[in-house]
Copies of this chain bind each other. A is one copy, B any other.
Amino acid sequence: MFEPPTLKDIANALGLSTSTVSRALRDTYEISAKTKKLVFDYAEKINYQPNPNALSLKERRSKSIGVIVSEVANHYFSQAISGIESIAYDRGYHVIITQTHESFAREKINTQHLASRSVDGLLVSLSAETADTEHLKYLHDRGMPIVFFDRVPNDIDTHKITANNEKGAFDATEHLINLGRKRIAHLTSSDHLSISIERLTGYTAALDKHNIPVNPDYIKHCPHGGMFPEETERAILELINLKDKPDAIFIAGDRLSIGALEVLKKLNISVPGQMTVAGFSNSDVLNLFEYPISSVRQPAFEMGKTATEMLLQLIESKYPVTEFDNKVIDTELFVR
């Protein structure tokens, strides 16, 4: 098996003690230049790498951060993860990624798993099912640095970074209104998710501004965020079976947006002829779609980067941090 060289190996080979070798490699002042060179060269030669587990044990930190997202195979999250990685790597941290598949149970297990794995901090985007955040609060109360991004809880006080969901939703809805649409439906994810609430707020705000009454029948929730196509299909069917059928729909999620387009195509409902569509999505191929869909794009990469910077700041802070940021980044509307 693979047995990397240790300090002791170097010490034995050079007739020194491990402490001297350790100090030489760390370039301490109390070691002579000649010994340092000796040790350096030998370490180089046998390609010595300090054992990270021993270091973690001693330093009580693992130089790794845990990430909890619903799905890696999701445009938003995969881009966010790229952002997370780009920062973490530069700062010498490893990234351990876990997926919840929108399940509360898996979120709890993953949280537990990562904590026991002694990550130095957590980057979390809540699952669609999560209504109770006790598992995270527990860790946070005990001093585990946590930064939430995208889907954030409101009962845990720590750094948070979100897209400007309300404004994004407002812009998209107003865009539909400006196109002359009056009966604008709203398809969204589970109702306790922060992003759902904010996007709903933006949607109603736009309607209000233009004096369009909010019709509760036009608002459809998919508790699993479109994980199950049937969920999306049922919602769309309910909408088009209304006697006052909507002529536009604003969709509050990537998977939902794609799913809705599939359903519309299947039902032979022309877009934008019979139904104009606008929705949140980070897909990079919307330009190639047969049915044009105006999209609200979140700065995923940027958000991942910023969240990681915030987390590392928490981790590496000498004093307990009590002032927390709540950063909001603007979305971008792509009209199609």
Binding site for B on A (CB under 8 A): 1-4, 49-54, 56-57, 60, 62, 64, 71-75, 78-79, 81-82, 85, 89, 94-99, 112-113, 115-118, 139, 142-144, 258, 261-262, 265, 283-285, 287-291
Q: Is A53's CB under 8 angstroms from B49's CB?
A: no
Complex-state Cα separation, A49 to B139, whole angstroms:
13
Residue ID in chain B nearest A265 by CB atoms: B288
A118 contacts which chain B residues (CB < 8 A)?
A: 4, 51-53
Q: Is A117's CB under 8 angstroms from B52's CB?
A: yes
What 4 pairs between A and B have smallest CB-CB spacing? A49-B116, A73-B78, A53-B56, A290-B290
Residue ID in chain B nearest A258 by CB atoms: B285
Q: Is A57's CB under 8 angstroms from B53's CB?
A: yes
Contact sample, A vs B, 8 pairs, CB 8 Å cutoff: A1-B60, A3-B60, A4-B115, A49-B115, A51-B118, A97-B97, A265-B287, A265-B288
A49 contacts which chain B residues (CB < 8 A)?
A: 112, 115-116
User: Whole-angstrom distance from the CB of A332 to the nearest CB of chain B?
Assistant: 17
Q: Is A98's CB under 8 angstroms from B85's CB?
A: yes
Q: Which of B75, B112, B113, B291 contacts A288 (CB 8 A)?
A: B291
Complex-state Cα separation, A285 to B284, whole angstroms:
11
Complex-state Cα separation, A113 to B97, whole angstroms:
17
Q: Is B75's CB under 8 angstroms from A144's CB?
A: no
Are A99 and B75 also in contact (CB < 8 A) when A115-B49, A265-B287 are? Answer: no
Are A81 and B85 also in contact (CB < 8 A) when A52-B118, A116-B52, A265-B287 are? Answer: no
Residue ID in chain B nearest A59 by CB atoms: B53
Q: Which of B4, B258, B284, B289 contacts A289 (CB 8 A)?
A: B289
User: Whole-angstrom distance from the CB of A232 to the nearest CB of chain B?
Assistant: 14
Give me 4 other A-B pairs in contact (C-beta within 8 A), A3-B60, A262-B288 excluded.
A4-B115, A49-B116, A71-B82, A290-B290
Q: Is B81's CB under 8 angstroms from A72's CB?
A: yes
User: Whole-angstrom distance from the CB of A315 to the nearest CB of chain B?
Assistant: 9
User: Whole-angstrom distance from the CB of A121 to the nearest CB of chain B?
Assistant: 9
Residue ID in chain B nearest A75 by CB atoms: B73
A116 contacts which chain B residues (CB < 8 A)?
A: 4, 49-50, 52
User: Whole-angstrom distance from the CB of A136 to the nearest CB of chain B?
Assistant: 13
Q: Is B78's CB under 8 angstroms from A2's CB?
A: no
Q: Is B289's CB under 8 angstroms from A2's CB?
A: no
Complex-state Cα separation, A98 to B96, whole angstroms:
10
Q: Which of B2, B85, B94, B112 contacts A139 (CB 8 A)?
A: B2
A143 contacts which chain B residues (CB < 8 A)?
A: 1-3
Complex-state Cα separation, A142 to B46, whole angstroms:
12
Are A72 and B62 also in contact (CB < 8 A) when A2-B142, A258-B285 are? Answer: no
Complex-state Cα separation, A1 to B72, whole angstroms:
30
User: Whole-angstrom distance from the CB of A79 to the nearest CB of chain B?
Assistant: 5
A290 contacts which chain B residues (CB < 8 A)?
A: 288-290
A52 contacts which chain B residues (CB < 8 A)?
A: 116-118
